[in-house]
Amino acid sequence: MSNKQWPYPNIVAHRGGGKLAPENTLAAIDVGARYGHTMIEFDAKLSQDSEIFLLHDDTLDRTSDGWGIAGDLPWHKLAQLDAGSWFGAAFNGEPLALLRDVAQRCRRHNMMANIEIKPTSGAEQETGRAVTLAARELWQGQTAPLLSSFSYQALEAAMTAAPELPRGLLLDAWRDDWRALTAALDCVSIHLNHRLLNAARAAELKATGLHILVYTVNDPARARELLGWGVDAICTDRIDIIGPDFR
């Protein structure tokens, strides 16, 4: 297993601003910073013309005034969409965010990043490679971003493109072959739905040298329990009550 360092804080603001801002936007990052958070998580994918932008879903419908598969559209069309008004009037006109602008905002706020590589179906390797190469360039002089993905192919492409950037495998269901998967990808961490974790599993994971990031924890009592088990990072939507100094 890789011996890379783990410079990241205990608490990570989910999709930038958690429940307090439209997810995966520059406005969300600003909200996370306002609450004192020093690390954010967000989702990155490719437009039809290979621009890297932030969006969680394959489709635009839930978090913008657009519709259909985002990866099928060129950036000049995506750039016209409103990604804020669905959340609230205060965010009317907030655009989709480009990765390069996110890197600048992280630099301004002195924030670290967990970049979840979120490929459109069928573009796993291409997205993994493109996001990783861009991250290496854009985060120069900052703490290396932690790359993660549910896609083994995307992480494999990331490892090939920039092996020095830290990687974490995302799992939403327990896999008995987690040890082989994380070793093959030279992962520094495993990122789990917190419901998959108990004290025994946490100890087993930690014994291999893996760091553990869990999502999405919004209950302070559960957060304390997980930290007590040795969990290294908790991704939360409740950035107001599970703050950067939470213990």
Tens of pLDDT, residue by residue over 4-61, are: 689 999 999 999 999 999 999 999 999 999 999 999 999 999 999 999 999 999 999 9
CA distances from 166 to 6, 17, 61, 155, 189 (A): 9, 23, 32, 10, 8
Residue 205 confidence (pLDDT) above 90: yes
The residue among 229, 208, 205, 204 whose CA lies nearest residue 217 is: 229
The single residue of 14, 37, 191, 211 carrying the catalytic annotation is: 14
At residue 48, the pLDDT reads 98
CB distance 97 to 22 below 8 Å: no
Question: 64-122, pLDDT tens digit by residue?
Answer: 999 999 999 999 999 999 999 999 999 999 999 999 999 999 999 999 999 999 999 99
- Answer yes or no: 56 catalytic: yes
- Is it the case that residue 145 has pLDDT exceeding 80? yes
Average pLDDT over the chain reads: 97
- pTM score over 0.95: yes
- The pLDDT value recorded for residue 101 is 98
Residue 152 in this model has a pLDDT that exceeds 80 = yes
Is 142 a residue whose pLDDT tops 90? yes
Closest CA to 231 of 203, 187, 39: 203
| Per annotation, catalytic residue among 37, 56, 109, 211 | 56
What is the rounded average pLDDT of the residues 187-191? 98
Contact between 168 and 146 under an 8 Å Cβ cutoff? The reply is: yes
Q: How many residues are present in the chain?
A: 247
Q: Report the pLDDT value the prediction gives residue 247, as an integer from 0 to 100.
A: 84
Q: What's the pLDDT at 3?
A: 46
Q: Given this model, what pLDDT does residue 4 score?
A: 66
**pLDDT score of 83:** 98
* Catalytic residue check, 14: yes
Classify residue 3 as exposed, middle or buried by CB count within 10 Å of its CB (0-12, 13-18, 19+).
Answer: exposed
Percent of all residues in the chain with a pLDDT value above 90, rounded to a whole number: 98
